[in-house]
Structure 1
């Protein structure tokens, strides 16, 4: 079990609210819905009320630095059923990319692939004490678009299963283009952190506020805080 899952949750009951499309950019069609993820009548473009307010603050900060730039929402609220679907989908993709077949996988091969999957995806747990971060409505995957609406190059795609996904992957590069990737990642990180979010240690795009991972990261910085989570899973 990942250590942040040990953080207790005291659900505050805040509602999910729609992310306003007039303020933010959206990745459309939604990438998980496009491959068949079962959202039903749910939308990925929702966040808890206070989390959304903080995201608006981050957008204002970005606008003050780069007029016309917007935070683009790749994914926010994610029902547990969608988490489970995407975990299984990623497993199948990795099997195919490895030139293997599901029917003939050895136990060792299965274990190695699952380790890759869970290196980036949270376990789709139904246990109220260990919800996947996105199922709480307090985690968001974001990138940037410029004043023309074009994506800002961050050096790798969201959800890429490679070392390039680590936030500081390009930090020590001497190549001008890779230095630019790092500056873009730092810009995104700064506006999100200034608004109260915590950045995922291994994913440049993932930020959270109020969930178990957020509380764990806050306590890593200052153990005296004794932060706990205020958002649990939403069915």
Structure 2
């Protein structure tokens, strides 16, 4: 059974922030992540086949930006599910965007990324990055039924990132994290090592 970010078990994970700074990724312009995550992304890159590279499109996200995404998507869901109460809307929303308190992006602990070839062209993954469950008919889920090419490329991405210690949020094939509450819960780690952080604290 998929554990969503709105699950109380995620919020219950303790955070003992280890103080890793936000640093810019040297291969992704304008993207900040925690130093420990940056090191693991470098590890993942080194294991990819020749001619294949990571393209990171987003890392750290401010609380304001996170709340904007939550509000916009929740408004869409209200129209699609007019009978849903707030708790159900929160659950549905968390398939695509994390609640502020547990958001891996706000902690600098997550990246949205894909694979590209030598020419910088994105490999086919079955959906674009940031496809919602509604717009993709569920194909955004990592384990969704997608064509053979997309499945092969998703497995390549998962092998590199998983071996480097990252975990995937299963409703979004492109979202991977390290050090946050969700990562701690899935890996059985005693506590998260990254909590919310402001970009002003970047190294």
TM-score w.r.t. the length of structure 1 is 0.72
The 2-side partners of 1:208 and 1:68 are apart by 24
For residue 5 of structure 1, report the CA deviation from its aligned partner.
Answer: 1.7
Note if 1:193 corresponds to 2:156: no
Q: Show the counterpart of 2:94.
A: 118
**8 Å Cα contact 2:143-2:170 kept in structure 1:** no
Query: Would the alpha carbon gap of residues 109 and 4 (structure 1) be closer, same or farther in structure 2, given more than 3 Å must change?
Result: closer
For residue 93 of structure 1, report the CA deviation from its aligned partner.
Answer: 4.5
TM-score w.r.t. the length of structure 2 is 0.83
Q: Deviations over 1:80-139 (max 9, x none)?
A: 11100111122345567x5xxxxxx95x257565543232211123xxxxx311111111
Note if 1:215 corresponds to 2:191: no
Q: Show the counterpart of 2:192.
A: 229
The 2-side partners of 1:227 and 1:94 are apart by 34
**8 Å Cα contact 1:218-1:227 kept in structure 2:** no
Query: Would the alpha carbon gap of residues 230 and 115 (structure 1) be closer, same or farther in structure 2, given more than 3 Å must change?
Result: closer
The 2-side partners of 1:123 and 1:53 are apart by 26
Q: Which is bigger in relative contact order (C-alpha 8 A, separation at least 6)?
A: 2
For residue 201 of structure 1, report the CA deviation from its aligned partner.
Answer: 2.4
Aligned-partner SS, 2:74? helix
Instruction: Flag the structure with higher helix content.
Output: 1
Q: Show the counterpart of 2:11.
A: 5
Note the residue ranges of structure 1 that are not aligned, 5 or more in a row: 27-42, 99-104, 126-130, 220-225
Aligned-partner SS, 1:202? coil
Query: Would the alpha carbon gap of residues 80 and 155 (structure 1) be closer, same or farther in structure 2, given more than 3 Å must change?
Result: same
Q: Paired residues, what number?
A: 187
Q: Deviations over 1:135-176 (max 9, x none)?
A: 111111111111111111100122222211111112xx6xxx
For residue 179 of structure 1, report the CA deviation from its aligned partner.
Answer: 1.2
Q: CA RMSD in A?
A: 2.2
Q: Which segment drifts farther, 109-118 or 180-189? A: 109-118
Equivalent runs, 1:1-235 vs 2, <5 Å: 1-2=6-7, 3-21=9-27, 24=28, 45-62=31-48, 65=49, 67-94=50-77, 108=83, 111=86, 115-125=91-101, 131-162=102-133, 163-170=138-145, 178-219=147-188, 226-235=189-198
Max Rg structure:
1
Query: Would the alpha carbon gap of residues 95 and 150 (structure 1) be closer, same or farther in structure 2, given more than 3 Å must change?
Result: farther
Q: Deviations over 1:190-225 (max 9, x none)?
A: 000111111222221111111111110101xxxxxx
